[in-house]
Amino acid sequence: MKLLTKYSLVNLLVMVAIFLASSLVIYLFTQVILIREMDADLDGVGEKVITYVKQFNELPHGFALDEEKINFVLTGSQKTKRSSELTTMFSQRENKMHNFIKLDFPLWFNNNWYKVTIAKPLEGMHHLSSALITISLATILIIILISIVLNSLVLRRLWRPFYESMNIMRNFKLGRTESLTFPKTSIDEFSFMNESLLLATAKAKQDYLMLKEFTENASHEIQTPLSIIRSKLDMLIQEKELSQKQSELANGAYVAIKKLSRLNQSLLLLAKIENQQFNNKQSINLKVKIEEKIGQFQELWQSHDIKVTYSLQESYVSLSPELLDIFLNNLFSNASNHNTPSGSISIELKQDKLTISNSGLTGSLDEKRLFTRFYKASVNSNHNGLGLSIIKQISMVSAINIIYQFGDNKHSFIVSW
């Protein structure tokens, strides 16, 4: 879950809790305030009754409006207490039982005490309370919605430098010469993050360049003694005085040195490709180039009884001739070396796609590790595991795409540009 989403979710939950709590508080306060207002109205009616009795020296008749009910009960010498309460009474207007607020107070008239009861229906208060609560809750809800929208927009804008920096880091690769440029921001935390990323990437580049320089120098230095050793072993093997045992030992050492030399040459080639030392791009007729490679590999395929079928259309690609030659050599060698006895190879060239398929002994290869260095489908393989890594590196520096697929017991490499 994204940080922005998580924050928005927490913010929404808090606002919902505030909304519910505010709704309850508003409802309770509205009830209390309106009941107090009703009590004040009833007190006003009671004062009018007392004033009327004092002025006219008689109990009012027909004083009750259709909203209030006034009742007089003679209590003699017993003086009742003043009280107010909610009760249920029959409402003629509603023609049913309804909630009323009732006020009882004593009244002295004609040397006797009277209990005066004034009742007023809560219908008006109910409608007013509902209106006030509806307006208040609607206002709070609108404020919450506006706050969520504004928070979302503001937070997205504030976090934009972070996501831009992360996209730059996602596309960052060691070996590229261009320098990183992070977006400017007025937020101190993001500025600190960008500075830290610049320092980290600069240190990584420096370490990478030192390691690459060491690898190149070591490979160059190793190549010369390897050539000398191969030459000496070649001369030793040709000596007639060697015994069978000595000849086998010398031949084993020669094979190991030859394999080591190939490994060293592959590592040197990878270093040159990463250093972008093949920049002489040209528009090359891929159909003609593949036909040349088919001719070069024809003898090898015949010796292994491999059946080859191909369909070639006219196609042009902008690529370094040296890299294209290495690229096709490795693809064809991979299809040949990892084939089955009396197997098959299929080559299909379209205007913007090349597909090379071959039969194989094993099932699907590990797609996550397939193009990594020194990956081998079999631990007993005599190959150094750098062929597909070289293919991948060439595709990366040449802006072409290569994918692997397995189906119908065939391994397929699809190149598109």
DSSP string, 38-72: HHHHHHHHHHHHHHHHHHHSS--SS---SS-EEEE
Task: Concatenate the DSSP letters of all residues of 176-221 into one string.
Answer: --SPP-PPP-S-HHHHHHHHHHHHHHHHHHHHHHHHHHHHHHHHHH
What does the pLDDT profile of the chain (417 residues) look like in tens digits? Answer: 666 677 777 877 887 788 778 777 877 887 788 778 888 888 888 888 888 888 888 888 755 444 678 888 898 888 888 888 888 877 766 677 777 888 899 998 888 899 988 888 776 666 666 776 788 778 878 887 887 788 778 877 888 888 889 888 888 877 666 778 888 888 888 889 999 998 998 888 888 777 777 777 776 777 778 788 878 888 887 877 778 888 888 888 878 887 787 777 777 777 777 766 677 788 999 999 999 999 999 999 998 899 999 999 999 998 888 889 889 998 999 899 888 888 999 999 998 899 999 998 777 887 778 888 777 665 445 566 677 888 888 888 888 899 999 888 889 999 998
Q: How far apart are CA 201 and CA 189, in angstroms?
A: 18
Q: What is the pLDDT of residue 380?
A: 47
Q: What is the pLDDT of residue 177?
A: 66
Give the domains, in start order, of the chain with CATH numbers: 3-142 (3.30.450), 188-274 (1.20.58), 282-416 (3.30.565.10)
Bridge partners (DSSP) listed for residue 84: 103
From the number of C-beta atoms within 10 Å of its C-beta (0-12, 13-18, 19+), residue 11 rates as: middle
Q: What is the pLDDT of residue 384?
A: 62
Cα–Cα–Cα angle for 196, 198, 204, nearest 5°? 100
What DSSP element (H or E) covers 348? strand 344-349
Contact in structure between 187 and 43 (CB atoms under 8 Å)? no
Structure tokens at 176: 């590229």
Does the pTM surpass 0.85? The reply is no
Q: Which of 278, 275, 378 has the alpha carbon at shortest distance from 327? A: 278
Residue with tokens 């207490």: 81
Q: What is the pLDDT of residue 118?
A: 87
Q: What is the pLDDT of residue 14?
A: 83
Residue 363: partners with Cβ closer than 8 Å, 6 or more residues away: 406
Number of residues written out for the chain: 417
Q: How far apart are CA 53 and CA 51, in angstroms?
A: 6
From the number of C-beta atoms within 10 Å of its C-beta (0-12, 13-18, 19+), residue 257 rates as: buried
Do the bridges between strand 307-312 and strand 282-285 make them parallel or antiparallel, or are there none, so unpaired? Answer: unpaired
